[in-house]
Copies of this chain bind each other. A is one copy, B any other.
Amino acid sequence: MLLGVNLTLDLDSEVPIYQQIRDRIVEAIARGEAEEGDPLPSTRQLAADFGINFHTVNKAYDLLRQEGVIRVNRKSGAVIRRDPRSGPPEPGFTDDWEDRMRVLLAEATVHGLGGDDVVRRCAAMLSGFRAEERTTR
C-alpha cells in the first residue's frame, strides 16, 4: 500500500507539521491502510512530496518510533511495527490517553454535545476504521 501520497497536511496550521504527519500516519494505520511490515516513504521522499524539509519528516518518524508504531531500519527505511490488533496497550499509555480523552469529552459536554451523541460519534468513527480496513484489504 502506498502510504504518503494520500496524506493531507495544512502547512499553515498551528499544529506542528511533524505532529500532523504523525497523526495522519496513526490514522492510516488505524484504518488498516498499512499493516505490519509495510514500508513508509523515505524521509527525503515524503519531504519532497510536500515541499517541506526532510528534518521535519525525520522528527515525525522519530516520534512514531518512540511510540513503538514504526521500526526504522538503516537499509529499508521505516516500516510499520504494530498491527492494530496485536495485543493490549503498554502500561502507562492508557492513563495518559484517558487524561487526554477526559479533556476532549469535557469540552464536548461544555459545548452542548450530549453524552449519547458523543458516544454515538465515537462509535461511528471507530467502525469507520474497521469498515475501511475491510475494504482496503
Do the beta carbons of A126 and B104 come within 8 Å of each other? no
Across-interface contacts of A126 in B (CB, < 8 A): 105, 109, 115, 118-119
Do the beta carbons of A84 and B110 come within 8 Å of each other? yes
- B-contacting residues, A78-96, CB 8 Å: 82, 84-90, 93-94
Tell me the smallest distance from the CB of A10 to a CB of chain B, in Å. Answer: 10
Do the beta carbons of B104 and A100 come within 8 Å of each other? yes
Closest to A26 in B: B106
Do the beta carbons of B12 and A71 come within 8 Å of each other? yes
Given the contacts A73-B12, A100-B104, A105-B126, A26 and B121 also touching, CB distance less than 8 Å: no
Across-interface contacts of A115 in B (CB, < 8 A): 123, 126-127, 129-130
Do the beta carbons of B69 and A94 come within 8 Å of each other? no
- B-contacting residues, A41-97, CB 8 Å: 66, 68-69, 71-74, 82, 84-90, 93-94, 97
A-B CB proximity, top 8 nearest: A30-B106, A30-B109, A115-B126, A89-B111, A27-B106, A23-B103, A89-B112, A26-B106
A-B contact sample (6 more), CB < 8 A, given A12-B71, A26-B107, A119-B126: A11-B73, A27-B106, A29-B106, A88-B112, A89-B111, A97-B113
